[in-house]
Amino acid sequence: MIDMRSEDDMVAYALETHIALLPYIPELLADLEELGSDAEAITSVLDDLNLTKSTTVVDLGCGKGAVAVEIAEDLNLKVLGIDLFEPFIESCTELAESRGVSELCHFIHGDIIKLAGKIEPCDVAIFAALGDVLGLLDQTVSVIRQYAKPGGYIVISDGFIKDGGSSDFPGFEQYAERADMIARLTACGDTLVSEIIEAGDCDRGENEGDMIAARAKAIAARQPEIAAEVLNYAETQAAEYKFIDQNFIGTIWVLKRSH
């Protein structure tokens, strides 16, 4: 797959913003550790897989390190985190240090599309809350698979459209109902070994939206020249939380990579 987007385009798309706002993203998201995923739920899914101490884990698009650090801390496993937004790699390192798991975590700045096939495959490859950042679901799965050993696990934290729900929101156009999503995820011959439907938590979405809005207001007051953009970002985030709450069911899918 040839992807002509720049790194900044890709990060901006993943964070639902545009390039001009990227310098403000660390501040806008300063109060959030998880950027869309539920680190505790993903860790609990891994715990159920009865992994051994030598299990290697890679967290693709690790954001600020919430998932990687939780896994290292709770399961005592080695985790490699990869993210394309350099300021987040600094956050990851700080988080791992603050939770005492620096020795188990290694974070690198890089593009998971370009690095696919160049990094030793792991026993578990996690892809959490990246949605359609890598393109269509079949392209996405083909990238993730390259990070998992044959027979290893692929953990995808994403979701599907509720019965009668809509996919009419930017970034959600390719989402479908459950059966269709599972068919696409397993089209390469991998086996679905578990599926955890997440309990919708609209309070979490609302709280996160409020925290982003408060940060946006502070930036707008300090820097009027960027006020419209940051306030618009906060509004879009709030609208997305609402859309998700009304139309989407968050799910963690665990696949076993075929040989």
Using CB under 6 A, list all residues that contact ligand SAM: 10-11, 14-15, 34-37, 61-63, 66-67, 82-85, 88, 111-113, 128-130, 133
User: What is the C-alpha to C-alpha distance for residues 5 and 14, in angstroms, rounded to an integer?
Assistant: 12
Smallest distance from the beta carbon of 225 to ligand SAM, in angstroms?
25
Cα 211 off chain centre by: 19
Smallest distance from the beta carbon of 259 to ligand SAM, in angstroms?
26
Close Cβ partners of 153 (under 8 Å, ≥ 6 residues apart): 49, 123, 124, 125, 193, 254, 255, 256, 257
Instruction: Count Cβ atoms below 10 Å from residue 114 Cβ, excluding itself.
Output: 11
Smallest distance from the beta carbon of 130 to ligand SAM, in angstroms?
5
Contact 128, 140 (CB under 8 A): no
Nearer to ligand SAM, 73 or 83 (CB): 83
Q: In 3D, which of 42, 43, 16 has the Cα closest to residue 29?
A: 16
CA distances in angstroms from 125 to 43, 181, 191, 244, listed in the order given: 13, 19, 15, 25
Nearer to ligand SAM, 129 or 255 (CB): 129
Nearer to ligand SAM, 34 or 123 (CB): 34
Nearer to ligand SAM, 11 or 181 (CB): 11
Smallest distance from the beta carbon of 16 to ligand SAM, in angstroms?
8
Nearer to ligand SAM, 62 or 105 (CB): 62
Smallest distance from the beta carbon of 164 to ligand SAM, in angstroms?
26
Smallest distance from the beta carbon of 243 to ligand SAM, in angstroms?
15
Beta-carbon-side half-sphere exposure of residue 120 (alpha carbons within 13 Å): 7
Q: Running DSSP on this structure, what letter comes out for residue 191?
A: E
Nearer to ligand SAM, 129 or 219 (CB): 129
Nearest residue (beta carbon) to ligand SAM: 63
